[in-house]
A and B are shown apart, each in its own frame.
Chain A
Amino acid sequence: MKLSGQRLSPGHRGGRKAMSSENSNDSTLRSASSVFRLVLHSFLCIVSLLLGFRLSRESVMVAVNMRHSMNRLDAGSMPAVQSEFPVSLLLNANSSLPIENNHTLMKLEQEELLPELDPLKQSVIQDEKSSRVSVGRHQILIRDWPYPDPIDVMKAHMIIARVQQEQRRLYGQVERRQPLLVITPTHRRAFQRLHLSSLKNTLMLVHGQLTWIIIEAGGRSRETAAIVSNSGFTVCHLHLTQPMPTAWSKRPHMEALLRLRGLRFIREKKLEGVVVFADESNSHRLELFDEVQRVQWFGALSIGLLMPPKRYEMGKSPLRWNDLDFMAGPPPFRPLQGPSCSENGYLVGWYYEYGRVAPKDNGSRTSAGFEWAGFVFNSAVLYDSVNRPSWIRDWDEWAREDDDMRSPTIMVSDERFIEPLGDCGRDVLVWWARSEARSDGKYPEGWVLSQPLEVVVPAKRTPWPDPPPPAAPPPPAAVTASTDQEPHEKKRQGKRRNQGKKNAKKQNP
């Protein structure tokens, strides 16, 4: 009879009895030992049903392990899954050790249906390794601490990075990257550290060669130098002695002068590459730096504008155009500036906060009010007069400091030749934002505090001992009763309102 829990007989499946007749084991009642075995087996099966796992198998393994713990067991022998006589000697194929020598096999007490295994037949091959593989139950090997080792994780990440680099090299990388010339005007102020250090971190992630040209208003300062140092790429720190004006409306002109100073530097040094205007308060996507590689001479891309629309309605934005008519009512606000294309992908106009505008036929600059950040060009247009296309003007023509040039399209004589980048302006790759501290704001100088901060809210539990309470003579006993109430009441009230502060006040006289 088959009582083993799981491998029950077959009948529900398709009724193929051909093999079952060969394999069925009749219950043998030939000897008392077999009766005993049967009884024990049925007992163990019932117990295993109760306990929920196959006790018979486990007890067999324990018994065999204890009995044959010294031998190197092998190969080949563990009988198949169903065991009718678990208590009989079974070979435990518990080892998945590589076994290369001849082993001794234990003979099993089995029914006469089963042939006996001749141990000597196994050692047929003397000169080669015999099979390390045995059929039967194997141990599931679990190491002591089945968790990742941080060094292995680090090595794996290095492998992944190297594989991805190879993939980029083989399949996806931009063929040749032009070096980038990033121009950033700045000046020393409270929020400079905030903006400039985040821009530096962005630029550190850019692939390829990069030169960062920083032009500072009001002379070179230690603070700026400290922020931009240790970046890993070339930094050129230029300056103009004229300070940045405090009035908001005058700042764009000053910034344009700073950028012009940077462009003059590029022209003098004849630096090669793509000129990108990265204002320090802008947010850039890394795809921007891949996209600008595609520019041939002069390109334009879309920028998003992060600014409140209220300023527009009130007419206070620095991006106001002079020729906009307010009488027609507040226009719809779309916070974008960029090129606008036809279906063929050619530039047909501009898209700004209030809609589209087509280039005028007389060639006047319709994009005059656009931000510098939305334009990139090849640095050769500044100094290479031979190869430069005819629609780009010469440096001496347009680079005049007294002119009110508000966007780099001043150097272009015909706007229609400008190349639209970023999927023809549909991809916004950079966002323009201006957040500055008020001039009367109490920001620490360079965000470095000279004295340690005072305790406002003490931590609940600190690992350090509390400072001793201030030494005070103990009041006379008669008075303590009443005076003790008040601090407690005050403390209780304090707990309701503002526990921390009152405690602090108590502790710090």
Chain B
Amino acid sequence: MDVKGSRSVSIKRTGDRTASGISQYAAKEEREDLFPHSVEIFQIMGFRFTSRRGMLLCLLIGLLIASLSNVDSAGLAEELHERISGTAGDVLEDDPVGRLKVYVYDLPAKYNADMIDKDPRCLNHMFATEIFLHRFLLESPVRTLDSDEADWFYVPVYTTCDLTANGLPLPFKSPRMMRSALQYISRTWPYWNRTEGADHFLTVPHDFGACFHYQEEQAIKRGILHLLSKATLVQTFGQRFHVCLKEGSIVVPPYAPPSRMQSRFIPPSIPRSIFVYFRGLFYDPGNDPEGGYYSRGARAAVWENFKNNILFDISAEHPGTYYEDMQRSIFCLCPLGWAPWSPRLVEGVQFGCIPVIIADDIVLPFADAIPWEKIGVFVNEKDVPNLDKILTSIPIEQILEKQRLLASPAMKQAMLFPQPAEPGDAFHQILNGLARKLPHNISIYQGTSEPTLNWTAGPPGDLLLWVGDKES
């Protein structure tokens, strides 16, 4: 049986490629081998709509994403690109400076800087959002050193920096680390206890956000960390009716180094000759060799139905011209893997390739600022066998419209995390999202006699003390 394990190791080694999306899935198969699954039943909890505004927001998100309706453009046929405006209006290019103030807690280094010193690989993987957002906020003009006038408080904890030998984050100590940080905050400053974290925000970029697990069943069973139930979470995971996405969260794209993509542009006059493009795993041989679990069978269905179709340039190979090929394609498939999000969406937007999103109930980044159903094509997982019919029956005007929207530089910029930060990038979209949530509901400031946050909730393993990683 160790043979199986070692085989998966070798697969993972070959899986270390430049395309970060592919490495994510290779990473997944590596991690799954670590722990045996057990027979568990999870609970699916419903969405809790705690406020009318939250309900409205979610309804809007639902309407936005659930419909595949044709949207006629305003007939701007002569422009190279069109302005992007989502349900919140034309907000992609808003400037957050002056609209909000953020106070960044000065936590001891063991919560943030020491993690990087221990393992500098944290700066390059796709969960590096938390590190770069912290650094951005430290230098940003929205930062205030006066905590009394702050609208939002940022807790800089690097929970996904605990990496294995192969560079995959282990989330098992993250709940303890988070709890330790929040205890420190509540002891040192009065602001957490004042609102029980309702005006605080943190980054949880891991696979299932604040559920702190990479396996979906386990994550659902754990649920969002109880202490964070009032805070605003900035996360990459977004799926409707899922435990690990709570209302009011800001969904962001995964981190991908912008320079890696921007150095590989080809002239836009090179004709797009590939109809559908995809590179990545269809089956996860290490964890799910027969299929059915990985990507809920959607990727396997794509392979089985379209491997003989010349319109579909799909394979599990890792070409060196991955980015260039995306720029020569009209549609790029973005199916779910072990989690519904993937860096392919970011790459597709950068390279002007219309994303075909095959993930039921997914919530895409900045869904209120970017009208994703106008830009991408959403396909239900059960409709995957008819994917070729669906794609060829899209009216050509819509396809050209989508390409015009994708050509918008505001759109491309909103998906990136450049260092140093540039106007309109994803950092600013996060701040815009936070600014749109202002002013806070006055009820959060009314202290209740008994605090509702239970500091002892959660599995017993979470209550152990976390003293920082002493071992190197």
Contact = CB atoms under 8 A, between A and B. Distances in A.
B361 A140 contact: no
A294 interface: no
B384 A167 contact: no
A9 interface: yes
A22 B41 contact: no
Contacts of B296: 96, 133, 138
Nearest to A153: B311
A54 interface: yes
Interface residues of A, number: 82
Nearest to A90: B39
Contact of B292 (A84, A108, A122, A139): A139
B217 A22 contact: no
Contact of B268 (A156, A159, A170): A170
Contacts of A158: 396
Contacts, number: 232
Interface string B1-34: 1101110000000000000000000000000011
Interface stretch (B113-121, B387-395, B432-440): B387-395
Nearest to A126: B46
A441 interface: no
A115 B237 CA distance: 26
Contacts of B305: 141-143, 146
A159 B360 contact: no
A108 B172 contact: no
B215 interface: yes
A491 interface: no
A142 B301 contact: yes
**For the complex, would chain A's binding face be called helix, strand, loop or mixed by DSSP majority?**
loop
Q: Which residue of B44, B62, B220 has the most chain A CB atoms within 10 A of its CB atom?
A: B44
Interface in A8-66: 8-10, 12-14, 16, 18-20, 22-25, 53-54, 57
Contacts of B42: 76, 135
A98 interface: yes
Of the listed residues A20, A121, A133, the one surrounded by the most CB atoms of chain B closer than 10 A to its CB is: A133
A355 interface: no
B366 to A, nearest CB: 22
Contacts of A115: 41, 43
B240 interface: yes
Interface string A96-133: 11100000000010110111111001101100111111
A131 B114 CA distance: 41
- Output the residue of B80, B218, B297, B461 with the most chain A CB within 10 A: B297
A115 B162 CA distance: 30
Given A139-B297, A142-B301, A163-B403, A80 B1 contact: no
A81 B44 contact: no
Nearest to A154: B392
B309 A159 contact: no
Contact of A114 (B41, B241, B297, B386): B41
A168 B271 CA distance: 8
B5 A152 contact: no
B269 A171 contact: yes
A54 B310 CA distance: 33
A82 interface: yes
A10 B304 contact: no
Interface string B289-303: 111110011001100
B313 to A, nearest CB: 12
Contact of A79 (B39, B170, B309, B384): B39
Interface in A237-266: none
A143 B41 contact: no
A87 to B, nearest CB: 13
A416 interface: no
A13 B391 CA distance: 43
Interface residues of B, number: 83
Given A133-B239, A138-B296, A140-B301, A110 B46 contact: no
A25 B292 CA distance: 24
A98 B300 CA distance: 19
Nearest to A54: B290
A136 B293 contact: yes
B36 A2 contact: yes
A147 B5 contact: no
- Identify the interface centre among B5, B45, B47, B459: most chain A CB within 10 Å of its CB: B5
Contacts of B304: 140, 142, 146
- Which of A139, A140, A149, A170: most chain B CB closer than 10 A? A140
Identify which of A79, A80, A136, A152 gathers the most chain B CB atoms within 10 Å of its CB: A80
Given A14-B165, A121-B43, A163-B272, A131 B242 contact: yes
A80 B37 contact: yes
Contacts of A122: 44
A319 B361 CA distance: 75
Contacts of B34: 10, 13-14, 16
B321 interface: no
A65 to B, nearest CB: 14
Interface in B58-85: 62, 66, 80
B392 A155 contact: yes
A54 B165 CA distance: 30
B172 A116 contact: no
A130 B396 CA distance: 33
Interface string A163-199: 1101110111000000000000000000000000000
A60 to B, nearest CB: 12
B312 to A, nearest CB: 9
Contact of A131 (B44, B287, B311): B44
B220 A135 contact: yes
A293 B328 CA distance: 28
A254 to B, nearest CB: 44
Contact of A137 (B44, B271, B293, B392): B293
Given A9-B36, A22-B461, A138 B292 contact: yes
Contact of B164 (A14, A84, A141): A14
5 cross-chain pairs, A with B, having the tightest CB-CB distances, nearest first: A124-B46, A172-B269, A131-B241, A23-B38, A80-B37
10 contacts: A16-B172, A80-B37, A118-B43, A125-B46, A140-B301, A141-B382, A142-B304, A143-B385, A160-B275, A163-B271
Given A7-B36, A81-B293, A148-B308, 6 more contacts: A81-B37, A124-B46, A141-B385, A142-B304, A148-B388, A164-B272
